[in-house]
Amino acid sequence: MTIKLYSWPSSSGTRVAWALEELGVPYEYVELDAKKLEHRTPQYLTINPHGKVPGLSDGDLTFFESGAIVLYLGDKYGVEKQLWPGSAGQARADAVCWTVWAMT
């Protein structure tokens, strides 16, 4: 199952690519061409109904908004690698707070 990150350079998709790289998770980068309105195609709108980047697909799951994607990646891939705190405790609360803070 291949993770696909849909984005373009100099966007908030850079945050997601950075998280994927830090986690060591293999992924396919799909660069959308904004001038060709590739972010408005019916196919892409199934991933991000707002027609913006980034978007991410992981098997049958789809995500949009860089913060939501980073939180998902941390939960799924970071706990085992000890790069993201588990589901309870102050460390988890702090990680979520700082992640959301960094996105705003």
- The range of the structural domain enclosing residue 86 comes to 3-103
| pLDDT tens column, 37-80 | 999 999 999 999 999 999 999 999 999 999 999 999 999 999 88
Residue with tokens 């913006």: 52
List the one residue out of 13, 4, 25 whose CA is nearest residue 65: 13
User: For the domain that residue 95 is a member of, what is the CATH number?
Assistant: 3.40.30.10
> In this predicted structure, what is the pLDDT of residue 1?
65
| Single-letter residue type at 11 | S
β-partners of residue 58 are 3, 61
Measured between alpha carbons, how far is 70 from 87 in angstroms, rounded to an integer? 15
Q: How many structural domains are present in the chain?
A: 1
pTM of the model: 0.88
